[in-house]
């Protein structure tokens, strides 16, 4: 079984193992008896049918034994159910909102995130709901699975005993991109959680998120520590001795250009003392992220994403709209602003419109009004956003540039 980090979850494992053991035992018993009876009562051994009169002992045995077994199954199920349903007093309440096809978490104080962050050893109560259809919040490591239902608040709780990152999945088929509805439970030490919640953690949550997202932290420390690769903090103005592919040694000053090369063509210059094992990140990191990462390595801070981008992430736009021109389940945000779109209005008539601010605003609030030709009208309306938030999103889409190539964001065939 996968690792589990929730004390109440051990009860779930116990119930599961008990039922599994009984099921395997019953399978073996039935199989053996069946083979034995086939042999023992074969017609060559019993040419004459014999009437077998009732047996009180046997009747009692096969009534009492299954009753005891079923009751003990119920007992194991009941205790684990109770342990997982009884939320301890004083648990921190996190609101979970599911929507096609992403998760949003809101913490006390109003901070929102797209990954669930929780302190080690802290009781966390989840109040869950859904914006559109039924989803199911599923964390295998917590043995926790609970439906999220529109118009209803369901609750669950957990207390994670060890730090680490664990998968959160949607366990209820909810449409085209159901399989993409995944995120992470990040369990961190209590102090780190407090800082994260207050937005004052040393590394800067934005930078940490980026370096974790692209897998950098597997080899590089963000605070000067050792690793398979050099630490990434405070690099601005440093000099490094690097080996070139032809074996020559060179001394370089670490600047933005060098860091870009190090990410995009890591094999071109290897810092002395390290193995050349880093993969190239060419075409894998969107420009704005790349810039933020380089900036953090040089100066230790990132200006942070534009507010519109954070909003787009928190609202789940990114599960359907890419920022690099590729197609996920709707037009890419890159090159969308001011492009010409063929759309069908409510009456089904086809016409050409320019994706200006008014069009973008309407597409967010009432996406069904004008549907891009070739798209399925699956996007929910975001009419809970206020005007300022919609403007932020429009501004963000605009920041991703005008159309830069024919067919950007067109549905793939
Ligand atoms: Cu949400 Cu499946």
Model pLDDT for residues 400-413, shown as the tens digit of each residue: 776 544 343 444 33
Of 51, 197, 27, 188, nearest to 112 by C-alpha is 197
Ligand 1 atom closest to the CA of 172, numbered from 1: 2
- C-alpha 318 to ligand 1 mean position (Å): 15
Are residues 100 and 61 both part of a single domain? no
Given 85, 114, 148, the domain boundary residue is 85
Are residues 245 and 177 both part of a single domain? no
Evaluate whether residue 314 is within a structural domain.
yes
Are residues 33 and 130 both part of a single domain? no
Could you read off the pLDDT of 237-284 as tens digits, one per residue? 777 888 888 888 888 888 888 888 888 888 888 888 888 878 788 887
For residue 1, the 8-state DSSP code is -
- C-alpha 316 to ligand 1 mean position (Å): 13
Ligand 1 atom closest to the CA of 174, numbered from 1: 2
Cα(242)–Cα(268) distance, rounded to whole angstroms? 9
Higher pLDDT, 157 or 227: 157
Which residues does ligand 1 sit against, CB inside 6 Å?
Answer: 98, 101, 135, 170, 172-174, 178, 181
* Helix 357-365 / helix 387-399 crossing angle, nearest 10 deg: 120
Assigned token pair, 72: 């003990």
Are residues 372 and 392 both part of a single domain? yes
* 360: CATH: 1.10.760.10
- Residue nearest ligand 1's atom 1 by CA: 135
Q: What is the C-alpha end-to-end distance of the chain, expressed in Å?
A: 41
pLDDT of residue 20: 92
Mean pLDDT of 151-159: 92
Are residues 129 and 74 both part of a single domain? no
Assigned token pair, 246: 């032809």
Evaluate whether residue 3 is within a structural domain.
no
Ligand 1 atom closest to the CA of 134, numbered from 1: 1
Given 85, 106, 127, the domain boundary residue is 85
Assigned token pair, 192: 């780190």
Assigned token pair, 67: 């009753």
- C-alpha 147 to ligand 1 mean position (Å): 10
Of 217, 291, 204, 280, nearest to 256 by C-alpha is 291
CB-based contacts of 113: which residues, under 8 Å, 6+ apart? 104, 105, 107, 314
Ligand 1 atom closest to the CA of 171, numbered from 1: 2
Are residues 162 and 119 both part of a single domain? yes
Evaluate whether residue 217 is within a structural domain.
no
Domain count, the chain: 4
Are residues 265 and 316 both part of a single domain? no
Provide the residue range defining the domain that includes 37: 9-85
Q: What is the pTM of this model?
A: 0.54
Could you read off the pLDDT of 178-212 as tens digits, one per residue? 888 888 899 999 888 888 887 655 456 667 777 87
């Amino acid at each position: 079984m996968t690792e589990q980090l929730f004390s109440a979850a051990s009860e779930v494992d116990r119930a599961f193992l008990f039922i599994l053991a009984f099921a395997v035992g019953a399978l073996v018993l039935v199989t053996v008896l069946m083979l034995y009876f086939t042999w023992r009562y074969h017609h060559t051994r019993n040419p004459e049918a014999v009437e077998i009169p009732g047996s009180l002992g046997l009747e009692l045995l096969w009534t009492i034994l299954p009753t005891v077994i079923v009751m003990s199954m119920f007992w194991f199920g009941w205790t684990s159910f109770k342990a997982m349903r009884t939320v301890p007093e004083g648990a921190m309440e996190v609101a979970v909102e599911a929507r096609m096809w992403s998760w949003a978490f809101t913490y006390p104080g109003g901070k929102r995130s797209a990954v669930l962050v929780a302190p080690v050893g802290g009781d966390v109560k989840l109040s869950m709901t859904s914006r559109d259809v039924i989803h199911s919040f599923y964390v295998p490591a917590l043995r926790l699975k609970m439906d999220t239902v529109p118009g209803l608040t369901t609750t669950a709780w957990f207390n994670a005993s060890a730090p680490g990152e664990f998968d959160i999945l949607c366990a209820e088929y909810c449409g085209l991109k159901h399989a993409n509805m995944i995120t992470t439970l990040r369990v961190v030490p209590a102090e780190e959680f407090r800082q994260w919640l207050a937005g004052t953690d040393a590394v800067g949550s934005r930078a940490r998120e980026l370096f974790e997202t692209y897998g950098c932290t597997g080899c590089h420390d963000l605070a000067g520590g050792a690793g398979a690769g050099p630490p990434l903090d405070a690099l601005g103005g440093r000099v490094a001795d690097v080996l070139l592919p032809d074996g020559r040694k060179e001394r370089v000053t670490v600047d933005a250009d060098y860091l870009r090369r190090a990410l995009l063509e890591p094999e071109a210059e290897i810092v002395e003392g390290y193995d050349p094992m880093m993969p190239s990140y060419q075409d894998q990191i969107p420009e704005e992220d790349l810039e933020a990462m380089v900036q953090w390595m040089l100066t230790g801070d990132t200006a942070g994403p534009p507010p519109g981008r954070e909003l787009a992430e928190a609202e789940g736009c990114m599960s359907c709209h890419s920022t690099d021109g590729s197609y996920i389940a709707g037009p890419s945000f890159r090159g969308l602003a001011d492009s010409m779109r063929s759309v069908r209005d409510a009456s089904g008539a086809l016409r050409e419109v320019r994706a200006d601010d008014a069009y973008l605003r309407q597409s967010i609030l009432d996406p069904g009004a004008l549907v891009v030709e070739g798209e399925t009208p699956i996007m929910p309306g975001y009419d809970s956003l206020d005007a300022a938030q919609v403007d932020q999103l429009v501004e963000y889409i605009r920041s991703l540039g005008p159309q830069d190539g024919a067919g950007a964001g067109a549905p793939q065939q």
